[in-house]
Amino acid sequence: MSKEKLLLIGDHFILPSVMREALGPLADRFDIHEAQTPFPLEPFRNIAEVREASGSEEMMIRELEGVSLCIAHHAPLTRKVIEASPALRLFIVCRGGPVNVNLDAASQHGISIAYTPARNAAATAEHTIAMMMCAIRKIATRSAELRKGQWNGDYTWETAAFELESATVGLIGYGAIGRIVGRILRSFGAKVLVYDPFAHIGSEDVEQVAELNTLLDQVDVVSLHARETAETRSILGAAQIGRLKRGAVVVNCARGSLMDYNALGAALLSGHLSAAAADVFPQEPLLADSPLLKLPNFVMTPHIAGGTRQAAIKAARIAADELQRYITGEPLHHCANPK
């Protein structure tokens, strides 16, 4: 009896070999094939109707021929690909959400879609704290000045930074990443306020507020951790940034659409904000003439917050667990289209 065909579509971050290793003894049950997209050596992009994808529809149609089970990362599962892949019945995305999948088309064709939430929560949380500290203490700016032969060590009362130990930090969004950020901040001694209408605060030593403005009016630092939805797009706009106290710091390692970057730039130029840091942007990659690149008090990284080896391994292991559950008839833990 022939084995069921399983396709592993990795890339240069989550290697196909990492996916295969995560399967363990389960791998012996399948006829395994491997493919690879160019991410992240080439940034993800919109492909047909899906977002944040890598590879091509043509590659997917070719690789999915006769495949019933697939584990992928950024590979695009568009309507065109789905209609050309009649054998496919399970597609697992090694991401926090299947934005590179046409979920309606998958459901219409009876394809179960699973995903791997929180696989990069620790990585992104740690990067957020690093960016926060870098912005508050002007680490990147001072490092660049030293390379130019400038010794600007003459901090004054007016220019001195503040400490997280005595700061109030506001978290907009309190999912897996936000909770880890909150825990780390509390270890510094910071007071942590949370705005997330859907979060349940258990025994965590944070204070949940019912209104966003209540948080904005009190914090020294605000950090974004919300998912991108119609309600959260531009949740930190000009009016919200204007409510922050003079000298506050803004950090965004979530999604570029959550913040008005034009308003952020204006607040940094005017001195209303002392600094900001971001790993994500409305348009990626950043254009070479982006005004953001000229802001000395703005720390930037190129969407790398979740990029650790541990995050790749966690994603592959969660995907393997979902595959195990599927083939044994158990409900998927993380199914995007359970109906």
∠ Cα 330 336 338 (to 5°)? 50
Angle, in degrees to the nearest 10, between helices 309-327 and 121-136: 160
240: left (phi over 0), alpha (psi -120 to 50) or beta: alpha
Residue 192 identity (one-letter amino acid): V
| Residues belonging to the active site | 255, 284, 303
SS3 of residue 215 by DSSP: helix
User: Starting from the edge strand earliest in sequence, which strands make up the sheet with 4-10, in order?
Assistant: 30-36, 4-10, 69-72, 90-93, 112-115
Count of C-beta atoms within a 10 Å radius of residue 334:
21
170 closest CA partner among 246, 251, 257 = 251
Helix and strand tally (H, E) in the chain? 11, 14
Alpha helices by DSSP H, listed for the chain, are 16-23, 57-63, 79-83, 103-108, 121-136, 139-147, 176-188, 212-216, 238-243, 261-270, 309-327
Residue 41: what residue type? L
Q: By C-alpha distance, which of 42, 44, 47 is closest to 61?
A: 47
Structure tokens at 11: 């890339």
How far, in Å, CA of 56 to CA of 45, rounded? 10
Residue whose pair of structure tokens reads 């050309």 in the numeric block: 84
Sign of torsion over alpha carbons 1, 94, 13, 183? negative
Q: How many residues does the chain have?
A: 339
Q: Is the dihedral angle over the CA atoms 185, 187, 190, 193 positive or is it negative?
A: positive
For the record, the structure tokens of 270 come out as: 């005017």
